[in-house]
Amino acid sequence: MRSVLAATPGDLVAARTQMALSLGWHIIIACFGVAMPAFTAYAEWRGQRKGGDPVYTTLAHRWARSMGVLFAVGAVSGTILSFEMGLLWPRFMAMYGQVVGFPFTLEGTAFFIEAIFLGIYLYGWNRLPPRLHLLTAIPVVVAGVASAFFVVSANAWMNQPRGFDLDNGRVTNVNPWKAMFNPATPPQTTHMIIAAFMVAGFSAASVYAVAMLRGKRDRYHRLGFAIPFTVAAVLAPIQLLVGDWAAKFLATNQPVKLAAIEGLSRTTAGAPLSLGGVYVNGELKYAIHIPNALSILAHWNPSAVVYGLEIAPPDARPPVTAVHLAFQVMVGFGTAFILLAAWWAFLRWRRKDFSQTRWFLRAASVAGIGAVLALEAGWVTTELGRQPWIAWGRMRVIEAVNPEPGLTVGLVAVIVVYTVLTVASVAVLRRLARMPLELAVPGEAPAQRATPVEAPQEEPVRRRR
């Protein structure tokens, strides 16, 4: 008879793969749920400030439609994730659910607030007075950001478990506020919320960059690019500073994760920063080393000691190569975004027409994909860097997984569900994007027009050599 105390290796892999697939898919959609309401509300506000500007108003209309689709899809994937926490990791939830359940409860409340006001916002176009309609967007914006904060604070708790005592293996003296506001919460939630705006900003802008490369350089497409891209560009260098904050946090609170990120096998004074490389047989090979840079980044001291992987037994170390390479991918894209932001600032400073700068548009058109890849690489770093722990230092993943057979069947079912969701989402969004452009008129919904009206074309600008 099969033991009920441990899952088979196959079921463990299936559970981890299913969770990774669900989280990796949902987090992309969640980024748009966090940022797109702010972009949409800003466009509507600008339209009202300019006396019913039809281009700003049309942008708000079209973004609101896409926002509604993405919210519905995100609700499905988020619901799947909530069930998976109990189905795949019942031992974790049984032991620590009373500790970590508080932020999930708050996230559910924020979700319902967002859903209610999003419905009012979408239905209220041209049915509510303009200023009142704009005010209904505020709870959507706030609730979207709050949802991200609460969920990520729960993940931060898994990196820094706090807010409880253990008495003979039983959780006692639970303090949910202390658990939610654990030491990892400030850097991790800040990093994620900024990443959400960058992903949504670069992704939305990339759509208009492609359109401008195809010759659509009217005011509608220029503003559709400029609003989200400017937000993402401003946040790119700020994210670098937040990443530095997070690295210093790891150096003090999770030194093994930092050692895995840098491929540092031995504790070193004046540790170098490693670029690239592959971890083989306990050594990082083929990397470029910048002397003393890691000690400076971790402790502001070129001679500071940085702990290596040797401080943890072999069975308590993360998969170093995967963590190191994922981190390198994230940092590489982050550096590219800062350079792209500097290019954007230069074009605006020199008052050059960015819509005629084809190499800039080409770079911007792939920035959306790059932002998604950086996001996924960041989460791989965060989650794999915590392995083999589901709750750092408290419970291992193998101890938390559902011991019952059949988890592989669930993985197959989830793959099918997410395949259908992906195809349906892309099809609906492409259909919305291909709808004829109709400029909004104050007091009249664009859908009431019988004939599409093209956005006014600006005078052609002679390309500078």
- Report pLDDT digits (tens) over 26-52: 899 899 989 999 999 999 999 888 877
Q: How far is CA 114 from CA 82, 204, 300, 326, 419, in A?
A: 18, 21, 42, 33, 26
Domain membership flag for residue 422? yes
- CA 251, distance to chain mean position in Å, is 23
Instruction: Specify if 208 maps to a domain.
Output: yes
- Tell me the residue type at 57: T
Q: Per the structure, how many domains does the chain have?
A: 1
Count of Cβ atoms closer than 10 Å to residue 260 Cβ: 30
Q: Is 381 exposed, middle or buried (0-12, 13-18, 19+ CB in 10 A)?
A: buried
Tell me the per-residue pLDDT of 199-218, one tens digit each, with 9 for 90 and over. 999 999 999 999 889 888 88
DSSP letter at 270 equals T
pLDDT of residue 266: 87
Is residue 312 situated within a structural domain? Answer: yes
454, pLDDT greater than 50:
no
Residue 1 counted as domain residue: no
Which pairing describes strands 273-275 and 288-290: parallel, antiparallel, or unpaired? antiparallel
Q: Which residues of 362-372 are buried (b: 16+ CB within 10 A; e: fewer)?
A: ebbbebbebbb
Which pLDDT tens digit goes with each residue over 339-366? 999 999 998 888 888 878 889 999 999 9
SS3 of residue 265 by DSSP: coil
Residues 409, 410, 416, 417, Cα dihedral to 10°: 160
Residue 281 lies in a domain: no
Asked whether residue 292 is assigned to any structural domain, the reply reads no
Residue 201 covered by a domain: yes
The CA distance from 225 to 248, in Å, is 35
Give the pLDDT score at 460: 44
Burial of 2 (0-12, 13-18, 19+ CB in 10 A): exposed
Residue-number span of the structural domain to which 109 is assigned: 9-267+307-448
pLDDT band, residue 456 (cuts 50/70/90): very low
Q: State how far the Cα of 367 lies from the Cα of 369, in Å rounded to an integer.
A: 6
Say what the pLDDT of residue 308 is.
Answer: 87
**Alpha-carbon distance 226 to 208, whole Å?**
9
Single-letter residue type at 304: A
- The count of C-alpha atoms lying within 13 angstroms of the C-alpha of 28, restricted to the half-sphere facing its C-beta, is 22
Classify residue 212: in a domain, yes or no. Answer: yes
Give per-residue pLDDT as tens, 65-122: 888 888 888 888 888 888 888 888 888 888 898 888 889 889 989 999 999 999 999 8
